[in-house]
Amino acid sequence: MPNAYISGTGFYVPPRVVTNDDLANVYGIDTTHEWIVQRTGIEERRFSEAGVATSDLGLYASEEAIARAGIQKSDLDMIIFATLSPDMSFPGCGVFLQQKLGLCDLPDSKFVPALDIRNQCSGFLYGLGTAASMVQTGNAKHVLLVGAETHSAAIDLTTRGRAVSSLFGDGAGAVVVSATEENRGIRKWKLGADGRHANDLAQQVWDIKKRPFLPMSPEGVGQVYPEQMWPHMDGKQVFRHAVERMISVLMQTCVESGLTGADIDLFVFHQANLRINQYIQNHLGIPDEKMVSNIQRYGNTTAATIPILLAEAERSGKLKPGMKVAMVAFGAGFTWGCAIAEW
Ligand code: UT7
């Protein structure tokens, strides 16, 4: 059975920087830089322009990951796309990315499968488990795995929505998961979910139990009321469960891998709130030099946080071959996961 390893990383964030002061001064939200930094650590985030789709962000990140993997697009055997902010309701972003990469237009196109993953902040790790399994079972040699979000289009940028909208930003990260006979790669992954909390962080938009699924005006125009349109969150509940689940899944994955925390060289945590990650770091006694974060600059980019961190850590030299890396995420669902890789 081949090992599955991350052969290339890439990321893209849109150029437009939106600071906390911009939320107050440009969008008119009743908030302050101090409130947001104190509660979350976030200083700024990126918003893409109208006309840019999530699959576009994913495309730029993918092109970099494919180049850094040293392969051709035609070598890809599968696309996995994790997002909670897809271009449209259906089909998923995977097929749009496939087309934008030009994979369908190749003379010898393989028309590779394209799979969308709907696991929010844990989407990248759910995708990594899937990609690793495809590679280890010999069903694929190279899987393109993308996490990308366009939150700026679908958050309530008014005072009403400030508890959610001050947290999120746009961005994309991508990796290529490849087969190798070398003794390295993704060693272990564990995933979990607790559907009792499905409504604690959610964006309803429509209700499929209704006929039709959206209220309709006499003229036949679908109407979405603000409480359905925008995401809502029980922030304290999410915070508490995030801390508990991230600690326990990390410890379980280490124990089942025969490792202790001290054996891990780099901890790559989902970026939901700097305070969540600092709490976990202090609880487990992880030294600063083994942590990476970018929430200060990008906010919470949901499925994109971990692949963006991996790409940045590789570029900065913080992530080097041979290192043991623990990736951990928690988010809406609730869903969570951990993966340990030997880089
Ligand atoms: O990937 C998973 C995604 N989400 C998370 O991980 C989020 C986890 N939770 C959190 O990070 C925190 O719960 C928040 C940072 C979201 C909120 O912090 P909190 O201490 O739980 O605040 P709260 O929701 O209890 O709100 C306290 C007050 C409220 O005002 P009142 O009702 O006491 O007058 C909020 O309206 O703070 C207000 N508030 C704000 N004030 C200024 C909420 N958001 C803001 C804001 N600026 N941006």
pLDDT digits (tens, 9 = 90+) for 172-226: 999 999 999 999 999 999 999 999 999 999 999 999 999 999 999 999 999 999 9
Catalytic positions, written as ranges = 121, 270, 300
pLDDT on residue 221: 96
Give the number of the atom of ligand 1 that is nearest the alpha carbon of residue 270.
1
Query: Beta 78-82 vs 114-117: how paired, if at all?
Result: parallel
The finding on whether 175 has its CB within 6 A of some atom of ligand 1 is: no
* Rounded average pLDDT over 80-93: 98
CATH topology of domain 3-182: Peroxisomal Thiolase; Chain A, domain 1 (3.40.47)
The finding on whether 279 has its CB within 6 A of some atom of ligand 1 is: no
Radius of gyration of the chain (CA): 20
Q: How far is the CA of 193 from the centre of ligand 1 (A)?
A: 24
pLDDT on residue 99: 98
Q: What percent of the chain has pLDDT over 90?
A: 100
The finding on whether 300 has its CB within 6 A of some atom of ligand 1 is: yes
The CATH number of the domain covering residues in 186-198+231-342 = 3.40.47.10
Query: Is residue 306 within 8 Å of residue 124, measured between CB atoms?
Result: yes
pLDDT on residue 169: 98
pLDDT on residue 171: 98
For the record, the structure tokens of 223 come out as 């109407």
The structure's pTM equals 0.97
* Rounded average pLDDT over 92-104: 98
Q: What is the band of 271 on the pLDDT scale with cuts at 50, 70, 90?
A: very high
Q: How far apart are CA 261 and CA 278, in angstroms?
A: 15
Burial label, 257 (beta-carbon count in 10 A; 0-12, 13-18, 19+): middle
Residues of the chain with CATH 3.40.47.10: 3-182, 186-198+231-342
pLDDT on residue 283: 97
The finding on whether 239 has its CB within 6 A of some atom of ligand 1 is: yes
pLDDT on residue 181: 97
Give the number of the atom of ligand 1 that is nearest the alpha carbon of residue 300.
1
Burial label, 251 (beta-carbon count in 10 A; 0-12, 13-18, 19+): middle
What's the mean pLDDT when you consider all of the chain? Answer: 97
Residue nearest atom 42 of ligand 1, based on CA coordinates: 31
For 95-142, what is the HEC assignment?
HHHHHHCCCCCCCCCCCCCEEEECCHHHHHHHHHHHHHHHHHCCCCCE
Which whole-number Å values give the CA distances from 238 to 69, 167, 276, 282, 326, in the listed order?
36, 13, 10, 19, 22
pLDDT on residue 279: 98
Residue whose tokens read 């508990």: 244
- The backbone torsions φ and ψ at residue 275, rounded to the nearest 5 degrees and listed phi first, read -70, -35
Q: What is the band of 291 on the pLDDT scale with cuts at 50, 70, 90?
A: very high
Cis geometry, peptide bond prior to residue 96 (ω within 30 degrees of 0): no
* Rounded average pLDDT over 44-48: 98
At residue 280, the 3 state secondary structure works out as helix
Q: What is the band of 82 on the pLDDT scale with cuts at 50, 70, 90?
A: very high
